[in-house]
Amino acid sequence: MRRRSLHNGVIVETRVEARKRKEQSSQRWRRFEQVYVIITLLLFAQAFFPFFQAGQMDSVADGNALLQTIWKLIYVIAAVLIYIHRKHVMKIISRDKLTLVLLLMIVLSSLWSAAPEITMRRSIAFVGTNLFAIYLATRFSLRELFQLIAWALLAGAVFSLIVTILFPELGTMMHEGNLVWRGIFSHKNQLGRIMSLAAIVFFLLILMKQWPRWLTVGGFLLSVLMLAMSESKTAMIVLLITMGCIPFLTTLRWNPYARILFWLPASLFFIGLCLAIFPHMEALLRYFGRDMTLTGRTGLWDIVIEMIQVHPWLGYGYSGFWLGWEGESAYVWMVTTWEPPNSHNGFLDAALDVGLIGLCLILFSFVSRLYKAMRYHVSSHRWENLWPLLYLIYLVLCNLTETTLLDHNSFFWTLFITLGFSLPHKKRAEQRGRIRSRLRTTRRMEG
């Protein structure tokens, strides 16, 4: 009996040790994935580009050789991870069919592209970007992904501060005669966009009260500081508008009567404010360093719309238009008095790339995500449930004067695609809502 009990004890102890080793191995693997995600998100946000581009000349058509090698490594790791978790990938792949159709259209656009070789190469990069986004949706919940985004944005803010102080020749740039900050990013506007998003994320983390307060408040203040030092006025306006939406979005959880009592006076106040501001719009825009043409953007948009009408349905092929003097964009550069790298409007650039058909697919994808994000927000009183809705609003506002849609190796497009595969469908949201209501009823009865 003693021998048998001793033998059984050894077996149990061996199983416990094996389980511990398996858990430790799983935790190490999970940490590797988290580090991989944070680094990739930073690179997709164009972090450290001043270091990669130092001493190297980038071609509009060919790009940067060092960065291309890094992108290939990221795509290979994402493909391997997707293969490892292929069963889970197959379960979620059908959640966002519009993205898959758009992805197929972009790959096929090399058939009618104005620059087929460039379209083919960049469409492969676009596929790799989407693979990484699908991997994120497969491996991380919305809550986990939100925290990884927060860590990536915090790292971007901290590194930008350090680099700008220690290496000002890399962390700053000249813009309209002024020395402004760009941190570890490629341009001061990119620093502004990333920091405005970081301020939104850390404001939500402050409301969530789950991270240390010194970290969330510090992250928010640092993000606002870096945004101010970038002097990106568009990013400042986007931040203010997005933050201003938070009180209105929280009313979606209220009952209809309470919403009416809030929205009616708020709407009247907003209309009155617009009427008061409109006569002074030119002076207000001048204060923000803009004019009624939005620094030449409206004239540029008129010319771009003319070019869209030349190939309205399928466009010029993915990345087949803006190729400087070597591409169809030469006409735009010749007509305008400056050399814009894009339309400064994400929706117009999407129409140039994949035509009105592709633009409709993107708009339908936005509407689908907004609907899911709204249901996700209403399904719970947790502040983190507001994140998808705020991000979509932020993305729309950014693309009114800048371009981040359909961008390969893009932080913003990656998050957009991830939301499409991560946000719960209507049936799942309803099931969770019913389960929560039953749990509340049970607790009340027990109480």
C-alpha to C-alpha distances, 313 to 105, 112, 357, 366, 406, nearest whole angstrom: 12, 11, 6, 20, 17
Q: What is the pLDDT of residue 85?
A: 87
Let me know: does 205 contact 248? Beta carbons within 8 Å.
no
Q: Which amino acid is at 1?
A: M
Q: Would you call 429 helix, strand, or coil by DSSP?
A: helix
pLDDT tens per residue across span 149-188: 999 999 999 999 999 999 999 999 988 778 999 999 999 9
And the tokens for 221? Answer: 């203040």
Measured between alpha carbons, how far is 219 from 151 in angstroms, rounded to an integer?
10
> Which amino acid is present at 133?
A
CA 243 – CA 362 distance, rounded (Å)? 25
Residue 295: phi, psi to the nearest 5? 55, 45
Instruction: Supply 413's token pair.
Output: 């497009």
Q: What pLDDT digit, counting tens, does each position of 282-313 carry?
A: 777 677 666 667 777 888 999 999 999 999 99
- The residues with which 181 forms a beta bridge, in sequence order, are 172
Distance CA 366, CA 422 (A): 14
Three-state secondary structure string covering 92-132: HHHHCHHHHHHHHHHHHHHHCCCCHHHHHHHHHHHHHHHHH
Cβ-contact 342, 322 below 8 angstroms: yes
What's the CA gap between 53 and 184, in Å, rounded?
Answer: 12
Handedness of CA 7, 13, 19, 22 (dihedral sign): negative
List per-block mean pLDDT (blocks of 10 residues) for the chain, which spans 447 residues.
Answer: 57 64 75 93 92 62 79 93 89 89 95 93 94 94 95 97 94 87 94 97 94 96 96 93 92 81 79 78 70 77 95 94 90 88 94 96 95 92 92 96 91 95 68 52 53
Nearest CA to 432 out of 374, 375, 367, 388 is that of 375
pLDDT the model gives residue 429: 47
Q: What are phi and psi of 255, to 5 degrees?
A: -75, 160
Can you give the pLDDT at residue 337? 79
DSSP letter (8 states) at residue 210 = -
Which parts of 324-446 fold into alpha helices (H)? 329-335, 346-378, 387-398, 411-422, 426-446
Q: Is there a contact between 239 and 398 (Cβ–Cβ < 8 Å)?
A: no
Distance CA 192, CA 234 (A): 8
Closest CA to 376 of 422, 437, 424, 421: 424
Looking at residue 6, its pLDDT comes to 54
- List, in sequence order, every residue forming a beta bridge with 173; answer none if it has no partner: 180
Cβ atoms 322, 346 nearer than 8 A: no
Question: How far is Cα 135 from Cα 82, in angstroms, rounded to an integer?
Answer: 6
Nearest to 403 by CA among 307, 319, 334: 319
**Which tokens go with 355?**
């035509």
Amino acid at 141: S
CB atoms closer than 10 angstroms to residue 162: 13
Q: Specify the 3-state DSSP secondary structure of 172.
A: strand
Amino acid at 15: R
Q: Could you tell me the pTM of the whole model?
A: 0.89
Q: What is the pLDDT of residue 430?
A: 46
Evaluated on CA atoms 355, 361, 365, 366, the torsion sign reads positive
| 45: Cβ contacts below 8 Å, ≥ 6 apart | 152, 156, 185, 190, 194, 411
Q: Are 333 and 303 in contact (CB under 8 A)?
A: no
Which amino acid is residue 291, in one-letter code? D
Q: How many CA atoms lie within 13 A of 279 on its CB side?
A: 3
